[in-house]
Structure 1
Amino acid sequence: MKSTPGGLADFLIGHPAARDTPVLYGVDDELTLSALMAAARVLAGRLGPVGGQPVACVVDEGVRAVTAMFATWLAGGVYVPVNGRLTAREVAAHLAASRPAVVVAGPGTHVPDGFDTLREREPGVWTAACAPDRGEPASFGPDAAIVIRTSGTTGASKPVVLTHEGVRDGIDTVIAKLRGGKAGGRAPMPNLIPSSQALWAGAWNLLFAFRVGAPAILMDRFEPVAYAALVRRFGIRSTVLAPAMMAMLVEHPDVVDLGPLRLVRSVTAPLAPAQARAFHGKFGVDVLNSYGQTELGSEVAGWTAADVRAFGAAKLGAVGRAHPGVDIRIAADDGTPLPPGETGEIWIRSPFATGDAEGRVDAEGHLRTGDLGRLDADGFLWIEGRVSDMVNRGGLKIVPQEVEDVLRGHPEVADACVAGVPDARLGEVPVAWIRPRAGTTPDEAALAEYARRELAGYKVPVAFRFVADFPRTEIGKVLRRELVAADPLTERERERNAT
C-alpha cells in the first residue's frame, strides 16, 4: 500500500493544513484532512494488490471520487474516473475498454456483471462483490497516474494516460506563472470547483488546490444560485468557470451579484469576447482565458496578473501567452509555420505531453491540436475555432466562431452555434442554431440581414434554427455534429440556397 515516490498521493500526504481542519467540502458534508486521509487509507487497504493496474471509480459524488482517487494512488494503482451520469450501456463500454482490476462505486450507481466491485453502502463501509470469471486487468508503467477520456466533441472519446510527473510538473508550472516567481504569502483561499470530478477539469483543479495547500469545494452539478451562495459563504475572490456556466449566471434573473468574486479564469472551452464582456458587464468580474488539451497534459497557455495590468481589455478574448517550457507554432495546412497575425492550425510542444497522440506529433515534438488560432505580436494566442468545424462552402472557408460572435451581438440572441450542413451543390453550407433571449422571438430574415451587414455574403447562414439550448458535453462544449445530424436542410431550403 505504497504510493509512487513523488507521486500525486503526496498532494494529500503533504497537505499543510492542520489535521482537524476541513479540506474537502461537498454538497452536504465536509471532511477534515485527518478524516480524508483515514478514509483513503481504509479504501486503499480494501483495493488489494493493484500495482500499475487501473482502478475505475464510477463517479456519482465528488467526495467519494476524491477519496477513491487518493486511495488508488496509495495502493499503487492507476485511477480511472467513469462518469456516473452515463447510461448503463455507456458505463459497461467504458469499463470493458479500461479493464480495471477493481471498480469503486457509490450506492446508486450501476456496475455491470463481470467486474470485482467495492461499493460504499454507507460512509466508510465498503462491501465487495467478486467476479470469478473476469478477464485479466490492464497494466501500465510505474509512473502512470490517471486515465482520462477526451471530451469527444469531434468524434469518439479516446483514453489518455497521464503520469504522476507530468501532472505535477504541469500544475507547478501554472502555479509559478500565477505567482510571478514569488513564494506563497497568505494562506490560499478555498478552491471552488464547479466541474464534476468525473472530468479532467474537475480532478485537475482538485489537485491544484491540494498542491497549493487550499481546501476544495466541490459542486457535482452546476447551478447558478447555489454557485453564487458558495462564493459568498467562502469569500471566493477568484475561481474557474466554463463559458456555458458564465452564460447561465449572466442569464439567471436571481443572480445579480457575485461579490466578493473579482477574477474568473475560463476553462474547458474557448470563450468568445462577447461572452466575456457580458459577464464583466453584469458582475464587474474580470475574465481571463486559458488553453490546454488532455493530450498536452495540462494548461499550456494563460494569463498572469502582470499581463492583466499591462494589457487589460486590449487583449480580451485571448487565451494568454505560453507557459514556461511550452512552444506554440501556427502552421498552414502543409505544416509551414505562419507569421504573427495569420490564422492557421495550432501546434504545441509541451513538456507535460502524454505521448498518447500517435500520428499527431511532428519530428520536433509539436502536437497537432486540431484547433485554429493565431499569435499576435505580443505572443498572445487567440483561438479561432476547430479545424474540423471549418465550413467549406464551395471552396470558400468559413470559421463558425466568427459568425457566432456576430450573431451574439444581436439584441435578441442569447447564444449562437454555427455548423456546416451537407449540400449537394456546394458541399457544405452554414446553418445557425439560435438560443433566443428570454421573452424575445427573433425573426429569421432580420437575423440574416443583421449578419449580412457584418459578414461577407458567403458567410451568412442559409437557415436559422431556434432552440432552447444546444447539445453539450459534460463540460459545456457544444456538440455541433449532433445539431447537424438531427436537423438537415429541408428541400425548400436547398432550393432557396441554389437560386
Structure 2
Amino acid sequence: MTSAHVNQQGPPDQLEPVTIAQLTRYAARKYGDREALVDDEVRWTFAELGEETAAAARAAIAHGVRHGDRIAVWAPNSRQWITAVLGAVSVGAVLVPLNTRYKAAEAADIVRRSGARWLFAARGFLGCDYDTMLLDSGEDLGRLSGTVVLRDDGGPSSERSGAGHPASVAYRDYLASGREVTDAELAARTEAVDPDDLADILFTSGTTGRPKGVPATHGQTLRVFGAWSRLVTLREGDRYLLVNPFFHTFGYKAGILACLLRGVTMLPEPVYDTDRVLRRMAAESVSVLMGPPTVFHGLIHHPDRDRHLLTALRLAGTGAASVPAELVRDIREELGAPDVFTAYGLTESGGVVTVCPTGADARTLAHTVGLPLPGTELRIVDPAGDPVRTGEPGEVVVRGYHVMRGYLDDPAATAQAVDADGWLHTGDVGVLDDRGFLAITDRIKDMYVVGGFNTYPAEVEQVLRGHPDIADIAVVGAPDERLGEIGVAFVVPVRGAAPDPGELTAWTRERLANFKVPRRYHLLPELPRNAGGKILKGELRRTARKGASGA
C-alpha cells in the first residue's frame, strides 16, 4: 500500500454562486434580514451589506476600474475593506492585498510588479498613513494611477494629489461618484465576470526571499471555501470574530467569503488584543473563533478570562504551527468550545489542502492536519517523485482544481513548484497514516510561522547581511509557546566586531515587518557547513530549540 489518498465527499451545492460577483447578491437573497456585519456602531443585515457592496461596485465603474485591473489594498480589517474589495472584485477587478506590517519598500515592490492601478489604503492605523508612506517612499509604483482612503483614524488629514502623486479621494467621495451608474451598467459588468477569471493575486515569499504572486480564480476560490466551510461546520447563525487579517487567505477567504456563503455574522477586528477580544466575545455572543495557537493560548491564560461569559463559543479553528494536544483539550475544557479543527494549506493550493474533523480526539487534532478536501489528490513521495509506503515520510505533493496555474510572471519558479503532471511540490515533509490522515513532520523549505505569519529566513538573512558588523548569517525557526515559532539568528561577526542584539533588532525592524525580526541572536565563529559548503540548518535548529546560550 502506497501513501496516496483521494477524499471524495460529494459535489458542492450547485445552487451556490460560482463567482464572487454573484456572492453578495446570493447572500442577500438567501439570508436577507439576518445580521451580516458588526463594525463599531454599524450593524448591517445581509440585504444592507449587498446594497453597500453594490454602491462600491458602482464607484469602481465610475472611477474607470476595468475588467482585469489590479487593485491593491493596504488597510486593516474593517467594513470599508469588505465593501470596497467585494465591490471592485464583483465588476472584474483583481484583488492584491498588502500586509499591514510591510514597510513602504515591500509594499511598493508588490504594487509595481502586480501592475496595480488603484490603491485602497487606511490612515491613522497604528500610527501609519499607508498612502502617504507609499507615495512619499520614492519607490517606483508602476501603473498606480489613484488612491482611495478607506478609513482615516488619525484625525483631519489633507487629501494627497499633485506633486507627482496619484490622485487621492476619500472613501465617502469615491462611493458618491457611483450614484450615476445605472442598474444596467452594473448588471452588465457583474454578469461579465466568469468563474475562470482571476479574482486575486496573493503574494507569498519563496525560499529566495523574493515575494511571488499566486493568482486564483473566482471558481477555484468559491469551490475551495464552500467545501472548507462545510467541513469545519460553519453554519447559518454563527457569529464569527474575524481576528485574522484580511490581507491573508485565512482572513479574507476563510473569513469574509465563507461568512457570505454560510450566512455567518462577521465581526472584524483590526488588531488582535486579548482584552478587547474577551470583551467582544462576551458582548456579541461570538460562536466562532479561528487563529494561530497564540490566539487561544492568550485567551486561556488571561487572568481575567473568568469574568467574561464565553458560553456561545462552539467552534475553534487553528493551525499554521505545531499544536500541542494540551491546547486542544484546553480549548474544549477551558474555553468551552466543543468543536475544534486543525487544517493545512498553502497559498499555492488556494489556502487549503486538508482539514481535520471537528469531532476528532485531541491527539489526532494535535498530531495530524486531517484529510484532503473533496477532489484533492495528495501523495507522499521520495526525492525521485515516487510514492512511499504508508507511514513513511516524504515530500507532500498535491494535485487538484485549487492548485495554482502558476506564479505571476515567473515561469521558472512555476516549473520548480508544479511538475508536468500538475503536482504541486509543497516543500513540506509529511506522513500519511492508515486512515489517510496527514501529519506534517518537517519542512524541506526553511519557512517558519510566527504568530500565524509565514517568515522566510532568506529574506531576513539578506537584510542582516547588510549590517556592517556581520560577516555571515543564518536564520532558523524555533518553537515558542506564545507565537508558535520565532526566528533565531546565528551571526558570524566581522573580525573585531561584537554586534549588539538590540542594535541588530533595530536594524532589521527598520527594514522588515516586525514579525520577521529574529527574537534571539547567537554569535558564532563560523556557521556549520557540510562538505559541499551548504549550511547545516538542521544542526542550527536543534541548537535553537535547546535555547543555547549566546549573544
TM-score where L is the length of structure 1 = 0.71
Distance (whole Å) between structure 2 residues aligned to residue 297 and residue 195 of structure 1: 17
Q: How does 1:383-462 map to 2 (within 5 A)?
A: 383-389=440-446, 404=479, 421=490
Deviations 1:225-264 (A, max 9, x none): 2222222233233331212222222333223464332331
Q: 1:117 aligns with which of 143, 146, 155?
A: 146
Q: 2:355 aligns with which of 302, 307, 311?
A: 302
Q: How does 1:42-53 map to 2 (within 5 A)?
A: 42-53=58-69
Q: Does 1:483 align with 2:494?
A: no
Deviations 1:49-91 (A, max 9, x none): 4111111122234222111211212332111112344222322
Distance (whole Å) between structure 1 residues aligned to residue 447 and residue 244 of structure 2: 28
Q: Does 1:78 align with 2:94?
A: yes
Distance (whole Å) between structure 1 residues aligned to residue 489 and residue 100 of structure 2: 32
The Cα of 1:116 is off from its aligned counterpart by: 1.8
Q: 2:39 aligns with which of 20, 26, 37?
A: 26
Unaligned runs of 5+ in 1: 135-139, 392-399, 424-466
Q: 1:276 aligns with which of 328, 353, 361?
A: 328
The Cα of 1:358 is off from its aligned counterpart by: 2.9
Deviations 1:326-369 (A, max 9, x none): 11111223323221222222111122111124322233322110
The Cα of 1:119 is off from its aligned counterpart by: 2.4
Q: Contact conserved, 1:116 with 1:131, CA < 8 A, in 2? A: no
Q: 1:159 is matched with which residue? A: 213
Deviations 1:258-285 (A, max 9, x none): 4332331114444343543454454343
Q: 2:314 is matched with which residue? A: 262
Distance (whole Å) between structure 2 residues aligned to residue 243 and residue 372 of structure 1: 21
Q: How does 1:83-102 map to 2 (within 5 A)?
A: 83-102=99-118
Q: 1:201 aligns with which of 241, 245, 250?
A: 250
Distance (whole Å) between structure 1 residues aligned to residue 347 and residue 205 of structure 2: 9
Q: 1:14 aligns with which of 23, 26, 29?
A: 26
Q: Does 1:66 align with 2:79?
A: no
Q: How does 1:239-250 map to 2 (within 5 A)?
A: 239-250=289-300
Secondary structure of the equivalent of 1:351? coil
Distance (whole Å) between structure 1 residues aligned to residue 491 and residue 320 of structure 2: 28
Secondary structure of the equivalent of 1:103? strand
Size of the aligned set, in residue pairs, is 413
Distance (whole Å) between structure 1 residues aligned to residue 151 and residue 230 of structure 2: 40
Distance (whole Å) between structure 2 residues aligned to residue 120 and residue 91 of structure 1: 16
The Cα of 1:221 is off from its aligned counterpart by: 1.0
Counterpart AA for 1:364: D
Q: 1:227 is matched with which residue? A: 277
Q: 1:329 aligns with which of 379, 396, 399?
A: 379
Q: Does 1:373 align with 2:421?
A: no
Q: 2:342 aligns with which of 286, 289, 296?
A: 289
Q: Contact conserved, 2:391 with 2:433, CA < 8 A, in 1? A: yes
Secondary structure of the equivalent of 1:207? helix
After superposition, the Cα gap between the structure-2 partners of 1:191 and 1:10, relative to the gap in structure 1 and judged at 3 Å, is: farther
After superposition, the Cα gap between the structure-2 partners of 1:48 and 1:475, relative to the gap in structure 1 and judged at 3 Å, is: same
After superposition, the Cα gap between the structure-2 partners of 1:273 and 1:372, relative to the gap in structure 1 and judged at 3 Å, is: farther
Distance (whole Å) between structure 2 residues aligned to residue 347 and residue 337 of structure 1: 10
Distance (whole Å) between structure 1 residues aligned to residue 150 and residue 389 of structure 2: 59
After superposition, the Cα gap between the structure-2 partners of 1:18 and 1:212, relative to the gap in structure 1 and judged at 3 Å, is: closer
Counterpart AA for 2:328: A
Counterpart AA for 2:423: H
After superposition, the Cα gap between the structure-2 partners of 1:207 and 1:105, relative to the gap in structure 1 and judged at 3 Å, is: same
After superposition, the Cα gap between the structure-2 partners of 1:334 and 1:355, relative to the gap in structure 1 and judged at 3 Å, is: same
Q: 2:226 is matched with which residue? A: 172
Q: Contact conserved, 1:224 with 1:255, CA < 8 A, in 2? A: no
After superposition, the Cα gap between the structure-2 partners of 1:85 and 1:43, relative to the gap in structure 1 and judged at 3 Å, is: farther
Query: Which stretch shifts more, 10-19 or 351-360?
Result: 10-19
After superposition, the Cα gap between the structure-2 partners of 1:364 and 1:80, relative to the gap in structure 1 and judged at 3 Å, is: same
Distance (whole Å) between structure 1 residues aligned to residue 430 and residue 447 of structure 2: 12
Secondary structure of the equivalent of 2:317? strand
Q: Give the RMSD, CA atoms, in angstroms.
A: 4.1
Q: 1:352 is matched with which residue? A: 402
Distance (whole Å) between structure 2 residues aligned to residue 103 and residue 60 of structure 1: 14
Counterpart AA for 1:322: P
Distance (whole Å) between structure 2 residues aligned to residue 153 and residue 269 of structure 1: 18
Q: 1:147 is matched with which residue? A: 201
After superposition, the Cα gap between the structure-2 partners of 1:160 and 1:101, relative to the gap in structure 1 and judged at 3 Å, is: same
Structure of greater relative contact order (alpha carbons < 8 Å, 6+ residues apart): 2
Counterpart AA for 1:207: L
Distance (whole Å) between structure 1 residues aligned to residue 91 and residue 430 of structure 2: 42
The Cα of 1:193 is off from its aligned counterpart by: 1.3
After superposition, the Cα gap between the structure-2 partners of 1:28 and 1:490, relative to the gap in structure 1 and judged at 3 Å, is: farther
Distance (whole Å) between structure 1 residues aligned to residue 347 and residue 304 of structure 2: 35
Q: 2:238 is matched with which residue? A: 189
After superposition, the Cα gap between the structure-2 partners of 1:6 and 1:326, relative to the gap in structure 1 and judged at 3 Å, is: closer
Counterpart AA for 1:161: P
Counterpart AA for 1:51: H
Distance (whole Å) between structure 1 residues aligned to residue 372 and residue 102 of structure 2: 35
Distance (whole Å) between structure 2 residues aligned to residue 36 and residue 69 of structure 1: 11
Q: Contact conserved, 2:323 with 2:366, CA < 8 A, in 1? A: no
Distance (whole Å) between structure 1 residues aligned to residue 114 and residue 527 of structure 2: 45
Distance (whole Å) between structure 2 residues aligned to residue 29 and residue 150 of structure 1: 33
After superposition, the Cα gap between the structure-2 partners of 1:278 and 1:12, relative to the gap in structure 1 and judged at 3 Å, is: same
* % identical equivalent positions: 23
Q: 1:396 is matched with which residue? A: none
The Cα of 1:313 is off from its aligned counterpart by: 4.0
Counterpart AA for 1:189: D
After superposition, the Cα gap between the structure-2 partners of 1:212 and 1:121, relative to the gap in structure 1 and judged at 3 Å, is: closer
Deviations 1:91-141 (A, max 9, x none): 222211222122223343224276322424779xx979589898xxxxx99
Distance (whole Å) between structure 2 residues aligned to residue 78 and residue 415 of structure 1: 32
Q: Contact conserved, 2:22 with 2:90, CA < 8 A, in 1? A: no
Secondary structure of the equivalent of 2:89? helix
Distance (whole Å) between structure 2 residues aligned to residue 17 and residue 127 of structure 1: 40
The Cα of 1:319 is off from its aligned counterpart by: 0.9
Counterpart AA for 1:341: G
